[in-house]
A = this chain, B = another copy of it.
Amino acid sequence: MGVFWSRGYHATALPDLLRATKLSRGSLYAAFGDKHSLFLRALDRYIDDAVTRLNIELDPRKDPVDGLRAYLAGYVDRTSGAHGRRGCLVIATAMELAGRDADVNRRIASFFKVMEARVADALSRAKAAGKLADGVDPANAARILVCFVEGLRVISKTASAGAITHAAADALLDRFIR
Contacts and interface: CB of A to CB of B under 8 A. Distances in A.
A65 B10 CA distance: 42
Given A143-B168, A148-B148, A159 B99 contact: no
Interface in A137-178: 137, 139-141, 143-144, 146-152, 154-155, 157-159, 164-165, 167-168, 171-172, 175-176
Given A146-B151, A157-B108, A96 B139 contact: no
Copies in the complex: 2
Given A152-B147, A164-B139, A157 B95 contact: yes
A96 B11 contact: yes
B10 A99 contact: no
Interface string A55-93: 000000000000000000000000000000111100110
B157 A154 contact: no
A113 interface: yes
A96 B96 contact: yes
Interface residues on A, range: 35 or more
Contacts of A140: 164, 167-168, 171-172
Contacts of A141: 168, 171
A71 to B, nearest CB: 14
Interface string A97-110: 01110000100110
A5 to B, nearest CB: 11
Contact of A94 (B149, B154, B164, B171): B154
Contacts of A109: 158-159
B164 A95 contact: no
A112 interface: yes
Nearest to A171: B140
Contacts of A165: 143
